[in-house]
Structure 1
């Protein structure tokens, strides 16, 4: 994948959790609320239809305010890659002000863990800068930390 440093934000981390479990956490509605937003924010509801064109909808609660986020999956490669966007809602209905497309790549590290790469692609450099200023790296990094903590609790 060719990244554009003006419009794409990305990072890679080694996770001490197997790719299959990371995949399960990212693709099962019952798991998403446990890691998807940095605490103390929360997820009120999740709807997943795990297929290209299927919905990936969440309702976040941030400082007491509900923030619905509707989107669709653009690519689903079981155990390896998820691509979802808020540019469309279910039924390929375009949204007037899309923010980003998220790409999650999972690779087996050969030692029982996962090489996890998260990328947020934006339509413009301004939107990417806005997302970075909102705390992309800290926020998405916190989400990964919460994901590891939660996934490890499932392994016990």
Structure 2
């Protein structure tokens, strides 16, 4: 792991998986649900409109508690870059209850893909709180699970279809 600033966290890996399989894990609601949270947590995909300014809305459930995550896709380059933030609403007005921004970059390098997931926290305090609570360790486990599932899909020969960039993706 590498920090570029005190309020940033980064996961980086070089994997034997074509970028479109990792992309599908992030953009297909059925696949996202398999790794976004791990047991004993569950996740509901409420809405995924994988378009610029589209809605990313999930709910994480644990111990009879429900935490909703509402974000907006602000940069989408299929199979290369995905940026989701809760810093703005889907009408691009600033959010008063921001937690951070997720940036996923995929870069093919020979037969491998460089996977980089960066979380930009609103401030260093929020980042430290995330680490102390164990959420960052969970993020690493979830990422490992996602990469394993992507590799299994690729190895099984499943043909990945990207959602249409003009159609909202509903679970």
TM-score, with normalisation over the residues of structure 2?
A: 0.81
- Unpaired runs of 5+ in structure 2? 157-171
Quote the Cα distance in structure 2 between the aligned partners of 1:23 and 1:11.
16
Q: Hey, what does 1:91 align to over in structure 2?
A: 91
Q: Hey, what does 1:131 align to over in structure 2?
A: 130
Q: Hey, what does 1:141 align to over in structure 2?
A: 140
Q: Hey, what does 2:70 align to over in structure 1?
A: 70
Q: Hey, what does 1:47 align to over in structure 2?
A: 47
CA-based RMSD of the aligned residues comes to 1.8
Quote the Cα distance in structure 2 between the aligned partners of 1:134 and 1:78.
33
Kindly tell me the number of residue pairs found equivalent between the two proteins: 153
Q: Hey, what does 1:114 align to over in structure 2?
A: 113
How far off its partner does 1:22 sit? 0.4
TM-score, with normalisation over the residues of structure 1?
A: 0.88
- Structure 1 residue matching 2:29: 3-state secondary structure: coil
Quote the Cα distance in structure 1 between the aligned partners of 2:64 and 2:88.
26
Q: Is the 8 A contact 1:85 1:100 kept in 2?
A: yes
1:24-76 deviation per Cα after TM superposition (whole angstroms, max 9, x unaligned): 11111121100112332121224111122111111111233221111101111
Quote the Cα distance in structure 2 between the aligned partners of 1:4 and 1:15.
22
Quote the Cα distance in structure 2 between the aligned partners of 1:46 and 1:80.
24
- Structure 2 residue matching 1:34: 3-state secondary structure: coil
Quote the Cα distance in structure 1 between the aligned partners of 2:58 and 2:65.
13
Q: Hey, what does 2:20 align to over in structure 1?
A: 20
Quote the Cα distance in structure 1 between the aligned partners of 2:115 and 2:134.
19
Q: Hey, what does 2:105 align to over in structure 1?
A: 105
Q: Is the 8 A contact 2:131 2:137 kept in 1?
A: no
Q: Hey, what does 1:37 align to over in structure 2?
A: 37
1:70-122 deviation per Cα after TM superposition (whole angstroms, max 9, x unaligned): 110111111111111111232224332201111111111312x3211111112
